Amino acid sequence: MHNVTLIKGDGIGPSIMDVAVKIIDASGVKINWEEADAGMAAYDKYGTAIPDQTLISIDKNRVAFKGPLTTPVGKGFRSINVALRQKYDLYANIRPARSWKGAQSKFEDIDIIVIRENTEGLYMGLEHYLTKEKDVAESLAVITRKGSERIVDYAFKYARDNGRKKVTLCHKANILKYTSGLFLDVGREVAARYPEIEFDEKIIDATCMHLVMDPHQFDVIVTTNMFGDILSDLTAGLVGGLGLIPGANIGEDTALFEAVHGSAPDIAGKNLANPAAVIMAGVMMLQYLGERDAANRIQAALEKVVNAGDNVTPDLNPSSRAGTIEMGEAIIAEL
Ligand code: NAD
């Protein structure tokens, strides 16, 4: 029996998480789901977006399965996603983008893993105004040797353990000579320890162009926090959008699994949300928990349903009459 903290989240979160939990339970894996609140739902209930009970639950279980959380833009509470990544030092964010037969996209046969440093850089939240008038603002990016080394090493180990051939490190060291420069220097040192894996380094703007013009040259990409956030949406776009991209946040002793997409308030409560990304996040969680057989079976059932294209949400097939619930039922029937 595994103990997992379950945060259903905001907007479309509860509907897609209910489907994902039902599918995982139907696979036969024994999970004791400990439900906890976070985000807007928690803020409305307890006056805090991350109640102590939720942190106590994650402290105990060390594995969390989380739906998307709404974050107010430009004001209000800080992103809970960022806070959780920092509190549990979830330094590696793995975001795979793969082509699907059943999803319309501009390219075929894409298989790119973005590995993003998740705790440093411009997302540390070190922001403030420099003047009383609030007309000059400053944001600090912090890059450390330790943080750079462990994420690039994670990327090379991931490549080695998953039969991958190449790691591309993305940076902006031509302009950001200290921060991005340190990341690149450390990256080169780590790469030298893995001669069996091809190493490439690319400036971030060139990477964006190459990803759009010739994405098949990419295999594993490793990069700093904000670049990774942006690049992984770009790779999502190459394979048909955010509805199909899961994300794992991995630390030394804690891991949190979620979709890359947000709470999609525009379609919340309409049975329209595609549950595939959180289902795949569940698959990544089962792999992490050592439940490889169940993970493979769920992935195969999901692929069958998505590729058949009848019982899928409208973002995958606009003429489909199925919604979130029906897609979940079809996957369970396949299982
Ligand atoms: P979003 O990802 O929620 O939505 C972008 C677009 O994609 C919308 O049109 C939406 O309908 C669509 N979409 C997203 N997920 C979908 C799904 N599963 N099925 C079908 N369509 C889907 O991004 P946003 O609108 O910029 O953000 C909304 C809220 O989510 C914000 O408060 C933001 O901060 C938050 N957010 C949270 C996370 C997270 O919890 N990890 C990640 C990104 C954004």
Ligand 1 center–CA 69 separation, angstroms: 9
SS3 (DSSP) at 234:
helix
Q: Check residue 74 and give its pLDDT.
A: 57
Residue with the smallest CA separation from ligand 1 atom 15 is 261
Q: Which residues are catalytic?
A: 123, 172, 205, 229
Q: Check residue 181 and give its pLDDT.
A: 98
Ligand 1 center–CA 243 separation, angstroms: 9
Q: Alpha-carbon distance 93 to 251, whole Å?
A: 9
Token pair for residue 217? Answer: 């040259």
Residues ≥6 apart with Cβ < 8 Å to 75: none
Per-residue pLDDT of the chain (335 residues; tens, 9 = 90+): 999 999 999 999 999 999 999 999 999 999 999 999 998 888 888 888 899 999 999 999 999 999 999 876 655 556 788 888 889 999 999 999 999 887 888 899 999 999 999 999 998 888 999 999 999 999 999 999 999 999 999 999 999 999 999 999 999 999 999 999 999 999 999 999 999 999 999 999 999 999 999 999 999 999 999 999 999 999 999 998 888 899 999 999 999 999 989 999 999 999 999 999 999 999 999 999 999 999 999 999 999 999 998 999 998 888 988 999 999 999 999 99
Beta-bridged to residue 33, according to DSSP, are 4
Residue with the smallest CA separation from ligand 1 atom 41 is 68
Ligand 1 center–CA 260 separation, angstroms: 8
Q: Check residue 243 and give its pLDDT.
A: 82
Residue with the smallest CA separation from ligand 1 atom 25 is 264
Q: Tell how far CA 140 is from the center of its chain.
A: 24
Q: Alpha-carbon distance 297 to 244, whole Å?
A: 17
Q: Which of 82, 85, 242 to mutate to test the pocket of ligand 1 (most atoms within 8 A of CB)?
A: 242
Residue with the smallest CA separation from ligand 1 atom 24 is 262
Maximal C-alpha separation, the chain: 61
Ligand 1 center–CA 175 separation, angstroms: 32
For the CA of 266, the closest atom of ligand 1 is 11
For the CA of 66, the closest atom of ligand 1 is 40
Q: Which of 40, 65, 77, 263 to mutate to test the pocket of ligand 1 (most atoms within 8 A of CB)?
A: 263
Q: Alpha-carbon distance 284 to 164, whole Å?
A: 17
Q: Check residue 72 and give its pLDDT.
A: 66
Token pair for residue 201? Answer: 């380094």
Residue-range domains of the chain with CATH: 1-95+241-335 (3.40.718.10), 105-239 (3.40.718.10)
Ligand 1 center–CA 263 separation, angstroms: 5
Ligand 1 binding site (Cβ under 6 Å of any ligand atom): 12, 68-71, 81, 242-243, 258, 261-267, 273-274, 277, 315
Residue (of 30, 84, 95) closest to 256 by Cα position: 84
Ligand 1 center–CA 12 separation, angstroms: 9
Q: Check residue 75 and give its pLDDT.
A: 58
For the CA of 259, the closest atom of ligand 1 is 41
